[in-house]
Amino acid sequence: MIVAGYFALSTGVGLYFTRRGGTSLNEYFLSGRDVPWWLAGASMVATTFAADTPLVVTGLVATKGVAGNWLWWNMVMSGMLTVFFFARLWRRANVMTDVEFAEVRYGGRRAAVLRGFRALYLAIPVNLIIMGWVTRAMIKILSISLGVTPWVAVGICFVVTMLYAVAAGLWAVLWTDLVQFVVKMSAVIVLAVYAVRAVGGMGALKAGLVRHFGSETAALSVLPVSFEGGTLHAYAWMPLLALGVFLSVQWWAAWYPGAEPGGGGYIAQRIFAARTERDGVLATLFFQIAHYALRPWPWIVTGLATVLLYPNLADRESGYVHAFVDLLPTPWRGFMLAGFAAAYMSTIGTQLNWGASYLVNDFYKRFLRPRETERHYVAVSRAATVALFLASIAVTSQLSSVEQAWKYLLALGAGTGLVLILRWYWWRINAWSELSAMIVSLVTSLIAYAEIPRHFPPGDPSADAWVMVVTVGVTTAVWLAVTFLTKPEPDAVLDAFYRRVRPGGPGWARVATRVAGGPEPLSGGRWAWINWIAGIVAAYATLFGIGKLIFGTLAQGLTLLAIAAVAFAWIARALRSSQEGRQ
């Protein structure tokens, strides 16, 4: 009854917004650019909380301890770049998709080629991989929890998701995301409480983890290193090379959904849909804090409990599903299943709407049928949404695990990050720079992923680190060479872009002198870099402080939260000053 009620609610929300979402592409994909920051931010968080996420985190902490989450925690730094450097610029660009940006930043046929290529690349292979791993996780969940044919259960989620994502577009996705986020966060918190009770309380959990991992530090430390005898030691599963690459290269060099260097993807879509620049900035800041600092701990606690509850489980990711099936009574079991359905549907709904926006706005409308009516484009968008989901089913069967898909996508986008950042802040970047980076990154990562891991033991993070380093190095060398061997964008194109976006900074001094009579400061003010550091401190201090409180280290936890409060106060003051300066 609970699951059926949830489906009815989601369907009702979708049908409510059907008429409004069907009036134009602007309404269907951007909600008329009238979304408040709290709704846009909640939708960002809900989208990145997919059915796969608790499973992957469970697998990481069950095999590597809490510090295993550095596979994705390192991306805080990229996310905070988006908050303080790119959110305002994206909003000023006034485009429907981040792919359309190519013909704002660049000019001529090469910009059109880049836009078309990027639209198909992101909408089909990249988008299908993301939907494939999310669907694979949902199949695992439903096959264990219900004992039914998994494709039948996923088919039910598909039908309901289609009803609201196809009919009403982004408005329905946003509001159902909000409902779904409340449902799934409530569910995972309840499961964490039951999991701790099942192992005998927090003290028993910590004692059991010490026996399993060898020490409390190895199990619960948020850092994958230890200091012994005044010397820094890396854990066996995280060589210093891999850790160094995560912290110094991956966050700015690799493209990953939700953490794109320079912003982009569905994060940019929510920024485009926001009412104002300020709403876009606040939405993105809320997302970074909720995504990295507030949301992970219920998953982590449950994942650690599965180490003691299921010590002989071969598939560690599935431990999370076994826990909710075995530990939760009625009605919480139904509520948890509804939460998983919500997690699945929020991500799939966004990916479908986001992918269809590329296919229709940036390929079909731009190159095939540019003079049709708005209602025609909405109808095509609905058909594209259905086609994308059906295609994702084929990809699902090719993925052996969710964590494998995460790592593969990180390698696939490695090397493109720097050019995606610099295109905002350096006039010399041209369309060939970006196009060459995408192609070389794709080819190099495929070769590196096939060859390099053969020289390392299975599962050794050093292999992934070397794939990243090689791909970034080759890609960066090629796109820099292409940049200087090809002509820059025409002055008229650069001037028009600068007037529209006003990025400022020394990289645009030459253009700013022509357009504005002299160099201008970076968008976001002279304190942008300090604000970025404050954002990183706020996110990590909140994350680590909450963890200390959960595991009983009260003094350290409160100290870290106090540091976070100071960082938040600085950010609030900086945002107010920036707003007053513009007025």
Domain membership of residue 290 (yes or no) is: no
In this prediction, residue 205 has a pLDDT band, given cuts at 50, 70 and 90, of very high
pLDDT score at 306:
94
pLDDT at residue 182, as a whole number: 86
Better-predicted residue by pLDDT, 203 or 415: 203
Tokens 């399993």, residue? 212
Least confident piece of the model among 80-84, 244-248, 300-304: 244-248
Q: How confident is the model at residue 583 (pLDDT cuts 50, 70, 90)?
A: very low
Does any domain span residue 322? yes
Rounded mean pLDDT, 565-580: 84
The pLDDT, as a whole number, for residue 409 is 65
The answer to whether residue 272 is domain-embedded is no
Q: Of 303, 413, 256, which Cα lies nearest the Cα of 69? A: 303
Query: How many domains is the chain partitioned into structurally?
Result: 3
Task: Please tell me whether residues 309 and 444 are part of one structural domain.
Answer: no
pLDDT of residue 574: 84
Residue 329 inside a domain? The answer is yes
pLDDT at 226: 65
214 within domain boundaries = yes
Side-chain half-sphere exposure of 252, counting CA atoms within 13 A = 11
Give the Cα separation of 403 and 400 in Å (integer).
Answer: 9
- Give the closest residue to 360 by CA, choosing from 15, 23, 28: 28
Q: What is the pLDDT of residue 359?
A: 92
- Residue-wise pLDDT for 152-194, tens only, equals 777 777 777 766 666 667 777 788 888 878 888 888 999 999 9
Name beta bridge partners: 233. Answer: 226
Task: Tokens 């982004």: give the residue.
Answer: 170
Question: What are the two backbone dihedrals, phi and then psi, of residue 230, each rounded to the nearest 5 degrees?
Answer: 75, 10
Whether residue 579 has pLDDT greater than 70: no
pLDDT, mean of residues 54-60: 88
- Enumerate residues 6+ apart whose C-beta is below 8 A from 371: none
pTM: 0.87
Specify the pLDDT at position 122. 85
CA distance linking residue 291 with residue 543, whole number of Å? 10
In tens, the pLDDT along 254-296 reads 777 777 888 888 888 899 999 998 999 999 999 999 999 989 9
What is the overall mean pLDDT for the chain?
A: 85
Structural element, H or E, at residue 554? helix 554-582
DSSP state of 233: E
The number of beta carbons lying within 10 Å of the beta carbon of residue 124 is 17
Taking the alpha carbons at both ends of the chain, their separation in whole angstroms is 53
Is 21 in the same domain as 141?
yes
Say whether 207 sits in a helix, a strand or coil: helix
Segment 524-555, tens digit of pLDDT: 666 788 999 999 999 999 999 999 999 988 99
**Residue 301 maps to a domain:** yes
Are 337 and 419 part of one and the same domain?
no
Tally of CB atoms within 10 A around 24: 17
pLDDT score of 233 more than 80? no
Q: Which of 52-56, 146-150, 153-157, 426-430 has the highest mean pLDDT?
A: 426-430
Q: Are 339 and 183 in contact (CB under 8 A)?
A: yes
Domain boundary among 471, 489, 507: 489
pLDDT of residue 347: 81
Are 523 and 502 in contact by the 8 Å Cβ rule? The answer is yes
Contact 501, 443 (CB under 8 A): no
Q: 327 with 394, same domain?
A: yes
For the purposes of burial, counting CB atoms within 10 Å of the CB of 5, is it exposed (0-12), middle (13-18) or buried (19 or more)? Answer: exposed
Burial class (CB in 10 A: 0-12, 13-18, 19+), 494: buried
**Residue 36 confidence (pLDDT):** 93
pLDDT tens-place string over residues 468-525 = 889 899 999 999 999 999 999 999 999 999 999 999 889 999 999 998 888 888 876 6
User: Closest by alpha carbon to 54, among 299, 318, 321?
Assistant: 299
More confident position, 497 or 139:
497
Let me know: does 305 contact 323? Beta carbons within 8 Å. yes
Asked if 446 and 305 sit in the same domain, the reply is no
Q: Give the pLDDT confidence of 382-430 residue by residue, as tens digits.
A: 888 888 888 887 777 666 555 556 566 666 667 788 899 999 999 999 9
Domain that holds residue 206: 2-32+50-68+95-248+296-412
Task: Flag whether 238 is in a domain.
Answer: yes
Q: In this structure, what CATH number is given to the domain that contains residue 230?
A: 1.20.1730.10
Q: 502: exposed, middle or buried (C-beta count within 10 Å: 0-12, 13-18, 19+)?
A: middle
Closest CA to 283 of 263, 298, 303, 301: 263
Question: Do 358 and 466 have their domain in common?
Answer: no
Q: Under the phi-then-psi rule, with left for phi > 0, alpha for psi from -120 to 50, and beta for the rest, what region is 256?
A: beta
Q: Which of 395, 412, 429 is the last residue of a domain?
A: 412
Residues 431, 391 share a domain: no
208 or 137, which is more confident: 208
Overall average pLDDT of the 12-27 stretch: 71
Looking at the chain, the whole-number percentage of residues with pLDDT higher than 70 is 90
Clarify whether residues 390 and 439 are in a common domain.
Answer: no
Evaluate whether residue 41 is within a structural domain: no
Out of 432, 463, 489, a domain closes at 489
Residue 580 has pLDDT above 50, yes or no: no
Ordered DSSP codes for 155-198: HHHHHHHHHHHHHHTHHHHHHHHHHHHHHHHHHHHHHHHHHHHH
Instruction: Please indicate, yes or no, whether residues 306 and 183 belong to a single structural domain of this protein.
Output: yes
Are 403 and 420 found together in one domain?
no
Say which residue, 349 or 75, is predicted with more confidence: 75
Q: 530 and 466: one domain?
A: no
Q: Are residues 331 and 467 in the same domain?
A: no
